[in-house]
Structure 1
Amino acid sequence: MVQPSTIEADVIVVGAGLSGMIAARKLLEAGLTPVVLEADERVGGRILTQEVLPGVPVELGAQWIGDTHERMFRLAAELGVETFPQYDEGATSYELVGSGVLRENEFHARFESELRELELVLRRLDVLADDVPVESPWSAPRAVEWDAITAGAWYDAQGLSPVARTLLEICTVGILAVPTAEVSFLHLLFTIKTCGVTSELFAESEGGAQTTRFIGGTSEIPNRLAALISDRIVLDVPVQLIEHSADSVTVHCRGGLVARGRRVIVAISPTLAGRIMYDPPLPGIRDQLTQRLPNGSAMKAFFIYDEPFWRNDGFNGQLISDVGPARMSNDTCIPGDDHGVILLFLEGDQARTYGRLPENERREALTAELVRHYGGRAANPEFYVDGEWSERQWTRGCYNANHGPHVWTTYGPALTRPVGVIHWASTDTATYWSAYMEGAVDAGERAAAAVIAELS
């Protein structure tokens, strides 16, 4: 990595997450010279793999890609990163609305009619989402109506049974990492449309968004990208000020580094982009937008055992619970390693509540939940690790930015619209699989293409 005090480049890229490095590589391929400025001491942004035991990497950040994530499959192949399928054999364990812990077949038999209700609502969401243009959600025929209510309010108006409504909440919070009472219904429909249909968004089996993982860990992707452009990346240089004119930018970083170029791509989440100073100031609509796009709240907790004992009992490692603390879990064992690894998700209110507790209290509550679902062997892991993203200085939340009521229809065009020589890129700005790694690549490619067109 380079460490000069002054840099000259064609394009300055702020942020060495997936969007930023994809943009930088595209710029290099077009014959332009980029430099990537990263506030953190590592690359990857919201991707973070940690090897907690030899040969056992866990994903504290982004973890899966889905069957329709063509850009990510292509990128992995180009970088020589192999993939493997998410383990999905066996039964899911349920614990909803006072049912106690039920095995999947018993749960489905007991709540068959409630699950049919849920399926009908999902199909209706697909129909409504089809009317939302991903490039301009605010222009949907019913955009004003849909943007005036929350996703939670729309769910409540469907007359669902407690089981169906609870499942819908858990699934949606699992994607957006905020309670549905905080998200505009239009934003939910936009998210569905960018991902295809609800079956692709919510499913974890064939066709879903969580079907495939990376051998060696997801960080292999940003680390190998960084190796290709290592002489164009500077770490530990938080950007503080972007001066811009009609045809140039000067970017000032903490510590005195100055980078000068003809364009800048700000490839960080909108709320963090709003914390940078700009001279002259950005238009009011852009600043008002970034004040209204909070990042989600998400925490992942990993329990590592000597073996995946739940598989012997016919479980797939997935639980769905409204008792908690975690609402969902996954078997995240590593092929070729004997350890059993279970990942528990705490998202939205669960992340906010339990993320503030001492680790021993959080671990104790999560252990009790695993014991309820998988028995006494779950009480004695070999290792435990967790991580809450809002505590990370250069991320301040995961998985993505969420639009509350009236944000899309009032401020939406400012999300991706360049401000003179300033362009915006992050998965939050994507129009295909927004909030996923696939969306990050999409956003990086879009911003790079726009800059290349201007400078060519």
Structure 2
Amino acid sequence: MEREADVIIVGAGLSGLYAARELKAAGYEPLILEANDRTGGRILTESPLPGIPLEIGAQWIGDTHTRMFRLAAELGVQTYPQFEAGETKYELCGTGVLDQTEFYQRFGDDVASVNRVLATLDTLAATVSAEAPWLAPEAAQWDAITAGAWYDAQGLTPIARTLLEICTVGILAVPTVEVSFLHLLFTIQTCGVGAALFSEAEGGAQTTRFVGGTAQLTDRLAAQLSDQLILDAPVQTIEHSGDSVTVHCRGGRTFRAKRAIVAIAPTLASRILYDPALPGVRDQVTQRMPHGSAMKAFFIYEEPFWREDGFNGQFISDVGPAHMSNDTCIEGREEGVILAFLEGAQARTFHRWDEIKRREALIAQMVRVFGPKAAHPIAYVDGEWTERPWTRGCYNANMGPFVWTTYGHALSAPIGPLHWASTDTATQWSAYMEGAVESAERAVGEVLQSLA
């Protein structure tokens, strides 16, 4: 036996680190086992140029993410607002590249129809409990169809339907035909309302960034827990009984505790061997929660030239390779940075391309949208998540038809001394950092109650 603790935590992402800190503050000894050689999980900050941190993973918090604002303040990590001033570019259904003013002039009715659909989604989501979506009055009906099928039935024009698809895939990171309509409503409910979920303006989910990069949060948490943190320790087997767990890691390393919090995504948690085996319903739900696919591509320029032209660095395009972009300049720096998003089918396709070919295709898109000044970035960085062995996907885990109503009740329920955390199990802001902290709070509360 290499080491004993009160609670073993599997995974040193935001959920696991936060849970460990709270347990330590409550007087218990946590032990964090992380498969990777770094902490952070789906938070990853890289700096190709000094002073320019780029978020390969989680990047923003929103105005209502109270847990994250509180955590940042406690850790001494400052925040700054996401740049939004200026017009967005649109390129949909063969329109060519249009400035926002012209797009709204030509397709204002289409945008209005999208807003009506979002309002309907808000109304329907209000009937769905984030804690038990399978109990919604229309749960069986909504879980039997995909979000894409429901969208198709709304009588939208091609422009409106395409715009709605791109915005939704930006949240789910999979095509809407792969997600149950009930899951979409659950996602909206956990994040407040559709307007907050889809918006990048005030009240939205992407209004605020962290000075120095998001990894400042997990790095500082890890520094507080250095004596309780073991890296390069992939968990292979968890033996569990009523009052103890024995965790076996690769290389024959063994650890023991009274409780365990498995703070990794459900699909990764299912790859651990449990002895005795978990109930079939828990195994089945984790088999049906695949990660989404997402890639970020960053273009660094000598200056943010698009701002001088009255644009905010954002585009929405169905031509690709990227469907959306964002001004992601670093506060206090002169360089201009644009982030292009490839999500769902786009990420699945283009991450297989050679990097040089992918870069050339994306630069061609940047020139098409923002003009010849975009042709020569001083640096380019991209990052994708499905190839990373201890992540295997991006920020979201989605349920297809019939999963919530058949298996959903088993997602976060404790099993003996085993407890579950990760943003994928959250009931507030699931798939966001706020959700990671919320799920950790729930799991810690369960553990403290059981130990008491």
Is the structural similarity TM-score above 0.5?
Answer: yes
Q: CA deviation at 1:410?
A: 0.4
Q: CA deviation at 1:412?
A: 0.2
Provide the residue aligned with 1:116 in structure 2. Answer: 112
Instruction: Report the residue type matching 2:343 in the other structure.
Output: E
Instruction: Report the residue type matching 1:14 in the other structure.
Output: V
2:156 corresponds to 1:164:
no
Distance 2:335 2:20 in 1: 38
Provide the residue aligned with 1:275 in structure 2. Answer: 271
What secondary structure is seen at the aligned counterpart in 2 of 1:390? Answer: coil
Query: Please, which of 287, 312, 316 is the counterpart of residue 316 of structure 1?
Result: 312
After superposition, where does 1:100-249 map in structure 2 within 5 Å? 100-249=96-245
What secondary structure is seen at the aligned counterpart in 2 of 1:335? Answer: coil
What secondary structure is seen at the aligned counterpart in 1 of 2:137? Answer: coil
Distance 2:79 2:367 in 1: 31
Distance 1:31 1:25 in 2: 10
Query: Please, which of 55, 60, 63 is the counterpart of residue 64 of structure 1?
Result: 60
1:389–1:397 contact (8 Å) kept in structure 2: yes
Q: CA deviation at 1:256?
A: 2.1
Q: CA deviation at 1:230?
A: 1.0
Q: CA deviation at 1:246?
A: 1.1
What secondary structure is seen at the aligned counterpart in 2 of 1:111? Answer: helix
Instruction: Report the residue type matching 1:361 in the other structure.
Output: K
Distance 1:381 1:6 in 2: 50
Distance 1:173 1:114 in 2: 19
Distance 1:263 1:184 in 2: 34
Instruction: Report the residue type matching 2:192 in the other structure.
Output: G
Query: Please, which of 38, 42, 45 is the counterpart of residue 46 of structure 1?
Result: 42
Distance 1:57 1:421 in 2: 40
Distance 1:15 1:280 in 2: 21
1:292–1:404 contact (8 Å) kept in structure 2: yes
Instruction: Report the residue type matching 2:134 in the other structure.
Output: W
Instruction: Report the residue type matching 1:278 in the other structure.
Output: Y
TM-score normalised by length of structure 2: 0.99
Root-mean-square deviation (Å)? 0.6
Q: CA deviation at 1:29?
A: 1.2
Instruction: Report the residue type matching 1:160 in the other structure.
Output: L
Distance 1:276 1:282 in 2: 10
Q: CA deviation at 1:259?
A: 1.0
Provide the residue aligned with 1:395 in structure 2. Answer: 391
Q: CA deviation at 1:333?
A: 0.5
Extract structure 1 runs of 4+ deviating beyond 3 A.
none
After superposition, where does 1:270-419 map in structure 2 within 5 Å? 270-419=266-415
Distance 2:86 2:153 in 1: 35
Unaligned runs of 5+ residues in structure 2 are none
Provide the residue aligned with 2:9 in structure 1. Answer: 13
Q: Which whole-Å deviations, capped at 9, do the CAs of 1:216-248 have from their partners, x for residues lacking one?
A: 000000000111111100001000000001110
Q: CA deviation at 1:399?
A: 1.3
What secondary structure is seen at the aligned counterpart in 1 of 2:386? Answer: helix
Distance 1:8 1:39 in 2: 18
Distance 1:187 1:240 in 2: 30
Instruction: Report the residue type matching 1:340 in the other structure.
Output: G
Distance 1:288 1:397 in 2: 19
What secondary structure is seen at the aligned counterpart in 1 of 2:189? Answer: helix
Instruction: Report the residue type matching 1:427 in the other structure.
Output: T
Instruction: Report the residue type matching 1:193 in the other structure.
Output: Q
1:269–1:400 contact (8 Å) kept in structure 2: no
Q: Which whole-Å deviations, capped at 9, do the CAs of 1:101-139 have from their partners, x for residues lacking one?
A: 000000011001111111111000000000001110001
What secondary structure is seen at the aligned counterpart in 1 of 2:9? Answer: strand
Instruction: Report the residue type matching 1:179 in the other structure.
Output: P
After superposition, where does 1:437-448 map in structure 2 within 5 Å? 437-448=433-444
Instruction: Report the residue type matching 1:119 in the other structure.
Output: N
Instruction: Report the residue type matching 2:394 in the other structure.
Output: C
Unaligned runs of 5+ residues in structure 1 are none
Distance 1:399 1:15 in 2: 15
Provide the residue aligned with 1:28 in structure 2. Answer: 24
Q: Number of residue pairs matched?
A: 452
What secondary structure is seen at the aligned counterpart in 1 of 2:416? Answer: coil
Q: CA deviation at 1:140?
A: 0.5
Provide the residue aligned with 1:92 in structure 2. Answer: 88
What secondary structure is seen at the aligned counterpart in 2 of 1:369? Answer: helix
Distance 1:7 1:290 in 2: 29
1:427–1:441 contact (8 Å) kept in structure 2: yes
Q: CA deviation at 1:26?
A: 1.0
Distance 2:304 2:253 in 1: 49
Distance 2:2 2:448 in 1: 23
Provide the residue aligned with 1:260 in structure 2. Answer: 256
What secondary structure is seen at the aligned counterpart in 2 of 1:169? Answer: helix
